[in-house]
Amino acid sequence: MPRQLCYRTGALAVALSANAPSAPPLPYEVCGRHERLCEAAGARRRHDGRAFEEMRSMCMQANSLTGAAGSAFVSVGKTKINCAVYGPRPNRRPGASQGGRINLEFNYAPFSRERSELLDDANPHLMTQLHQALNAVVRLERYLKSTIDVCVLVVEDDGAITWRKFLSLVSAAAGVLSAALTCIGLALAVAGIEVIDILTGASAESRAFSNNKEWTQLDLGYCPGLASVCFVNARGPLVSGYNGEQLFALCEAACYAVADEVRSCLRKAFASKYQGRALGEEPASPHISSDQLAGDDQAKDV
């Protein structure tokens, strides 16, 4: 059976509206459903009705938390992530570096997964990957002798258990990684932290249905305004071939679409902020729902 492209994006947002649909986890639950999945593959549709190149439903919210310099709540499908940014604050540790630094905290909520112990070993690796992307995007030279605290909480993890059956611990968190990149990027922008560009993330996978062990996966951190890659993590035997090019093109297109929605969310957030100041009221937290996204541009379902 020919290979099909299975796309999961991570730049996106939280089902803040009760009507926002969520898609089942990827990859396919092949146990007991092989015939159904192969039939869907032949029709170039997923078992949830989406096309293989179609993004999950998404929405995003700025200023989701009070007390933080900037915060954001982002979800894609059932994956929901909250991020808060504090600072910059002066370094008070003895022997601290003269340059700016990012203090990153990444945690899963106790209720985010059915069996939270499965991916505990993946947390340090995820933090390392997120740190690499942040160091490439944040202009730390503007924050000498200062620390920026970034706190990420995974409220719900979509598909971790299913991925754990077939792939490694690191691969299981691929959707969380790409969603976290976008959530952090939005929170940094709300906090007014200087960055080289908006940070977005996406991930894509190519899998042969006849052999679930043969897969290729790409996680991408992208700055669409500069057309620049700030983070890339690829694994699998087909990364250097045509499939790898397809995966990169899917992730790149997704990041451009997500960046448009991040900018729209930021415009609404700052408009609400200044309007609230003029009226002497606390501004509401604007958000973008999946229904709004679908109405804006159907072509963004890459």
pLDDT beyond 70 at 118: no
pLDDT of 131: 92
pLDDT of 14: 30
pLDDT beyond 80 at 137: yes
Helix (H) / strand (E) element for 191: namely helix 174-191
Q: Range with the lowest mean pLDDT among 58-62, 87-91, 161-165, 245-249?
A: 161-165
Under a CB-based contact definition with an 8 Å cutoff, are residues 6 and 207 in contact? yes
In a domain, 292, yes or no: no
In a domain, 226, yes or no: yes
The number of residues in the chain equals 302
What integer is the mean pLDDT of 155-166? 56
HEC string of 35-71 equals HHHHHHHHCCECCCCCECCCCCCEEEEECCCCCCCEE
In a domain, 295, yes or no: no
pLDDT of 59: 85
What integer is the mean pLDDT of 257-265? 92
pLDDT beyond 90 at 33: no
Residue 247 vs residue 54, higher pLDDT: 247
Average pLDDT taken over every residue of the chain: 72
In a domain, 293, yes or no: no
pLDDT beyond 70 at 222: yes
**pTM (2 d.p.):** 0.72
What integer is the mean pLDDT of 123-136? 88
What integer is the mean pLDDT of 95-99? 72
In a domain, 302, yes or no: no
Task: Check which CATH number belongs to the domain holding 53 and give it.
Answer: 3.30.230.70
pLDDT of 1: 38
Provide the domain limits for residue 79: 4-280
Axis crossing angle, helix 242-279 with helix 174-191, rounded to the nearest 10: 30
pLDDT of 219: 87
pLDDT beyond 80 at 301: no
DSSP class of residue 169 equals H
pLDDT of 2: 38
Under a CB-based contact definition with an 8 Å cutoff, are residues 42 and 2 in contact? no
What integer is the mean pLDDT of 265-278? 82
pLDDT beyond 90 at 49: no
User: SS3 of 199, please?
Assistant: coil
Number of structural domains, the chain?
1
In a domain, 289, yes or no: no
pLDDT beyond 90 at 184: yes
In a domain, 286, yes or no: no
In a domain, 287, yes or no: no
pLDDT confidence tier of residue 300, bands split at 50, 70 and 90: very low
Other Cβ atoms less than 10 A from the Cβ of 98: the count is 7
Residue 106 vs residue 116, higher pLDDT: 106
pLDDT of 218: 84
pLDDT digits (tens, 9 = 90+) for 11-22: 333 333 333 333
User: SS3 of 142, please?
Assistant: helix
pLDDT of 91: 84
pLDDT of 208: 56
Q: Range with the lowest mean pLDDT among 25-29, 41-45, 212-216?
A: 25-29
Burial of residue 159 (number of CB atoms within 10 Å: 0-12, 13-18, 19+): buried
